[in-house]
């Protein structure tokens, strides 16, 4: 079955620091890859996605590239803000059931 391994948290950074959250996956077939973000007290929101190899998803200054050769989809941001404090989930989907398989989540705290 599918699985997602995500960098353990929590991660604490100062404002304007560079962020990387690692994500690797195993999957049957050719999955689509996602990053979701969960702000305190809220549901998950799609942050970005990529559906084929070498695709780069981007949104709100965050980027992630679909690396099929290394089965990875690492999340990066060049300069984080306090408002980026949230839990970030890497997820993959494959097959007709549209089932999302999530990583365990990474708590990010950005200090002013």
- Positions in the binding site for another protein (CB under 8 A): 4, 6, 32, 36, 41-46, 49-51, 89, 93, 97-100, 102-105
Complex with another protein: residue 28 or 112, whichever CB lies closer:
28
Distance in angstroms (rounded) separating the CA atoms of residues 61 and 4: 23
Complex with another protein: residue 46 or 111, whichever CB lies closer:
46
Query: To the nearest whole angstrom, how small is the minimum distance from the Cβ of residue 51 to another protein?
Result: 4
Complex with another protein: residue 6 or 62, whichever CB lies closer:
6
């Amino acid at each position: 079955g599918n699985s997602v391994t995500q960098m353990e948290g929590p991660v604490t950074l100062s404002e304007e620091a560079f962020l990387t959250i690692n994500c690797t996956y195993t999957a049957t077939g050719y999955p689509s890859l996602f990053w979701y973000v969960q702000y305190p007290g809220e549901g998950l929101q799609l942050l970005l996605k990529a559906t084929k190899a070498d695709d780069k998803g981007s949104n709100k200054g965050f980027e992630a590239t679909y690396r099929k050769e290394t089965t990875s989809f690492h999340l990066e941001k060049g300069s984080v803000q306090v408002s980026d404090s949230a839990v970030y989930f890497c997820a993959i989907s494959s097959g007709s059931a549209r089932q999302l398989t999530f990583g365990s989540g990474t708590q990010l705290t950005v200090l002013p």
